Amino acid sequence: MVERCKACGFCVEFCPTKVLALSSAFNSKGYHPPHVVAPEKCSGCDLCGMYCPDFAIYGQRLPMVREEAPAGTVVANLEVGRES
């Protein structure tokens, strides 16, 4: 899914709680995929998922506390929210 990203920036811009930013990492096509910078702010609204034209990202609020997923693989695939 990281590979699908074309760094259009929609998810970063339209996340209502500014959870995402474009990373400095590259995918194999040379794009900077987004990464989670503020996971605690993710409400699981999934607007990122609805905006993404490349079906590369999706957000959901999970019911339990999670470790950060290993970087570079699942990070740009989904976001993890934490119950407050």
Partner 1 sequence: MSILDVTNPVEPFLRTDRMPHIWCPGCGIGTTVNCFARALIESKIDLQSLALVSGIGCTGRVAGYVKLDSFHTTHGRAIPFATGLKLANPKLNVVVYSGDGDLSAIGGNHLIHAARRNIDLKVICVNNLIYAMTGGQTAPTTPGHAITSTSPYGTCEPAFNLPHLVEAAGAVYVARWTTFHVKQLARSIGEAFQKKGFSFIEVISPCPTLYQRRNKLGDGLDTMKYYKEKSKVKHGAPTSEVGLTMTGEIIVGKFVDRDRPDYQSLLHAQMVESLGECYVEPSETVCSCS
Is 14 one of the binding residues for partner 1 (CB under 8 A)? yes
Least CB distance to partner 1 at residue 47 (A): 7
41-74 exposure pattern, b = at least 16 Cβ within 10 A, e = fewer: bbeebbebbebbebebbbbeeeeeeeeebeeeee
Which one of 21, 43, 51, 82 is in contact with partner 1 (CB under 8 A)? 51
Distance CA 83, CA 40 (A): 8
Distance CA 25, CA 77 (A): 14
Task: With CB under 8 A as the rule, give the number of residues binding partner 1.
Answer: 31
Least CB distance to partner 1 at residue 55 (A): 5
Which residues of this protein are in contact with partner 1, per CB under 8 A?
1, 3-4, 6-10, 13-14, 31, 46-47, 49-55, 57-58, 60, 62-64, 66, 69, 74, 78, 80
